[in-house]
Amino acid sequence: MATPVVTTSSGPSRTAPAGRRPAARLAGRRAWVVFVVPFAIPFVLFYLAPIGYAIVQSFLRTERSGGIFGQARTVFTGFDQYAAVFADPVFLQGIGRMLLFGVVQVPIMLALALGLALLLDAGVSRFKRFFRIAYFLPYGIPGVIAALMWGFLYSPQLSPIVDLFDAIGPRPDFLGAGTILWSIANIVTWTYTGYNMLIIFAALQAVPPEVSEAAYMDGAGAWRIAWSIKIPLVRPALILTAVFSIIGTLQLFTEPIVLRAISTNVTSGYTPNLLAFTIASGNNYPLAAATSVVLALGTFVLSFGFFRFAQRKGWS
């Protein structure tokens, strides 16, 4: 995810406080290079350059002369590929599917994460460290492994869960056309709840204990303290996790591509990211690039839009 970018972008200019002697000041001023270069080189090489390359590609088109297998060359084509992206019903359906997914899954996951963080912070548990690690553990499991594992739990033939439901009521179909999206949502929630909990928990740790104590002295109960004191104070962390989650939703890829091996209901353009991958597999790099750029811009607009919205509402 985008964590490293966010955490490192604010640092460099504050590294050198103004020194007394001119030489020291100069050395101090140069020191930022040492700090910035190790970050800047990979950032440019593996982040900015590929993005730039994708943008260039997205304005090209393949032309061929001399028969079917003749000479190919790429020519500038303006915004044609972008027009094709927006004219593609599969892309639009994929975006719609992800929006539906995000509207349902993100609030559920963040509510869970907030609840768990508050529980840990309230200190009712004697095994705080254990639970903190236990909740976070799913995030440490590679996405492919997690999806494979859940695939077995969803499988109609192999799953103990399906058998259990079967014994007490109607047999569920976790891989059906109407349910697969929510089966994916379940995996994502399982994976990222602990991660988001940790961010919120860290913010809760920063809440001065005297504030809670004062509220307690004024007669507020634990619920009241959580609702009126703690949650308002960790709003910035909530906003941050929401933005990360929106980005993650639009980039959904691993879970659908893994579940595709066992479900007949994940199409090649099920998520926009999967669609870009499919197009690139077909050697149509310009269209794949345009799709990626549109997806990136969409993600940018949505996450920053949410950020601005939250700011205007005075949430952060």
Partner 1 sequence: MSPTPWRRRLLATLTVAPLVALAACSGGGGGDGGGAAAGCEPSDGPVELTFTSWVPGVEEAVALWNEQNPNVQVRAESVPAGNAGTYSNLFNALQANTAPDLSQVEYDSLSSFRLQNGLVDIAACAGVTDAQSQFVDWTWSQVQLGDEGVYAVPQDTGPMALFYRKDLFDAAGIPAPTTWEEYYQAAVALKAANPEARITHFPQQDANWFTGLLWQNRAGLFDIEGDTLSVTVDSPQSRQVAEYWQRMIDEQLVATNLQGFSTELYSAWNTGTVATWVSAAWGYSTIRDNAPDTAGQWAVAPMPQWEAGGASAGNWGGSTTAVFSGTEHPYEAAQFALWLNTDPASLEILNAEGGLFPAATAGQDLPALSSGVDFYGGQPIFDVFTEASGQVDTDFTWGPTMTDTYTALSDGFTAALNGQGTLSDALGAAQASSLDALRAQGIQVEG
Task: Tell me if 155 contacts partner 1 by CB under 8 A.
Answer: yes
Residues 73-92 that bind partner 1 (CB under 8 A): 73-74, 90
Among 68, 167, 168, 217, binds partner 1 (CB under 8 A): 68
Strands 60-65 and 71-76, bridge-based pairing: antiparallel
**Min CB(112)–partner 1 separation in Å:** 30
What's the CA gap between 242 and 200, in Å, rounded?
A: 11
How many residues are recorded in the chain? 316
Residues 176-205 that bind partner 1 (CB under 8 A): 176-177
* Amino acid (one-letter) located at 268: S
Residue 240: closest CA among 113, 147, 141: 113
> For the stretch 43-81, what's the b/e string if a residue is b when 16 or more beta carbons lie within 10 angstroms of its beta carbon?
beeeeeeeeeebeebbbbbeeeeeeeeeeeeeeebeebb
Residue closer to partner 1 (CB basis): 241 or 278: 278
Q: Per rule CB under 8 A, is residue 62 in the interface with partner 1? A: yes
Residue from the set 118, 269, 289, 295 that interacts with partner 1 by CB under 8 A: 269
Q: Which 13-32 residues touch partner 1, going by CB under 8 A?
A: 13
Report the SS3 class of residue 43.
helix
- Smallest gap from Cβ 84 to partner 1, in A, equals 9
Nearer to partner 1, 39 or 139 (CB): 39
Q: Is 56 in the site for partner 1 (CB under 8 A)?
A: yes
Residue corresponding to tokens 């027009």: 83
Q: What angle do CA 129, 130, 136 make, to 5 degrees?
A: 90
Rounded to a whole number of angstroms, the minimum distance from the CB of residue 189 to partner 1 is 24
Can you read off the two tokens belonging to residue 286?
A: 């310009």
- Candidate ranges 56-64, 222-230, 239-247, 295-303; the one touching partner 1 (CB under 8 A): 56-64
Letters for 29-48 (x = contact with partner 1 by CB under 8 A, - = none) are ----x------xx--xx--x
- 94: nearest Cα among 236, 277, 285, 312: 277
User: Which residues make up the interface to partner 1 (CB under 8 A)?
Assistant: 13, 33, 40-41, 44-45, 48-49, 52-53, 56-57, 61-64, 66-74, 90, 152, 155-158, 173, 175-177, 260-269, 278, 280-284, 286-287
